[in-house]
A and B are shown apart, each in its own frame.
Chain A
Amino acid sequence: MWKARPEDAKPANVTPNVPQPVQPAPSPAAPTATTQNVMSSREPQKPAIHAERTDVGHIGKSVVIKGELTGNEDLYLDGEIEGNINLRDHRLVIGPNGKIKATITARNVVLHGRVEGNITATERVELKNSSTLVGDVSTQRIVIEDGAFFKGAIDIKESQESKVEPRKSMASAAGAPGGTSSFSSGTSYSASPGSQGSFLEPK
């Protein structure tokens, strides 16, 4: 029988590194970077929305929760939730099947599905083109894709950086240099203006 040569054991020779989708910081339980490389080279690349599911908490589309949901890790949520969601310093992704009737507090919120309730994000809220949000948003930055439906109020809170950095002009923030150029369909827009007051007034 032949004896395996030492270089055969090197994964770098077997599976070359491939570009990885942007993923959140791995949790302690997440596989090592080497393992991820090997796995991803053997499997077809998944869409970003599913890639996020590999190293974050995951609540599937058949799950229904009524009550309070709190956590100290990033969460992908594709089920139905009624109550409150509190992930204070973490990222919440609501999948396309997600139907949420809750007040949401998180660091970042990415919405593909439907939310009825207020969202407070310390950093950023993203409304994807398939999303529906009926409720108020309070955040430092908001990104809204064309096609998203929103009913409610938006309150942009001041970030520490914006106190130092000069503000972007309106035209540049809206993607309209000179005030006459055009937007293209499917483009998303973000807003992060300067000083703001307190959170939203109740309707």
Chain B
Amino acid sequence: MSFLYLASIGRIEEELLLFLEARLGEVFGLQVGRLHPFVEPSYAFDPIRGQYSSVALMRQLIEICPDGARLLGITEKDLFIPVLSFVFGQAQLNGRLAVVSLARLHQEFYRLAPDPAILEQRALKESMHELGHTFGLVHCPERSCPMSLATNIRQLDLKKTQWCVSCEIMLREAMGQSR
């Protein structure tokens, strides 16, 4: 399985998509393609919480995920799973699907001035994290590793865009098996 598709769910800045396309290709050594953008995910909206269900979104993505490939959905919507107040993203552990929400990655969410470079880095780290799950990686205790659990934006910012030694090894093994 050497293909990764990106899909924007709703409108996403083209520059950001191009950046992720290039960097994720390098990081995972996968060929990266783009699927047709998807419409705004109104079907996943929960009026009580005012957020979007990432479970509903994943269910939609599974329908269109090309055979033998991985699919990363990217949305500006704020995502949740029922038991948690929000999630930065979600993935199928050892699966093919992942979704990342940009909602809480923007500086504006924290009432700061917009900064596209920071957004890019955050989006890359979160995408690496969720895609890492699809390769069977679980949360890593190394705070600087993209696979560590970030429960807030500060923890996400502490991460680097480079795997720790252990996750690098596990990823290499998993990729060897899935290719």
Q: Is chain B a partner of chain A in the same complex?
A: no
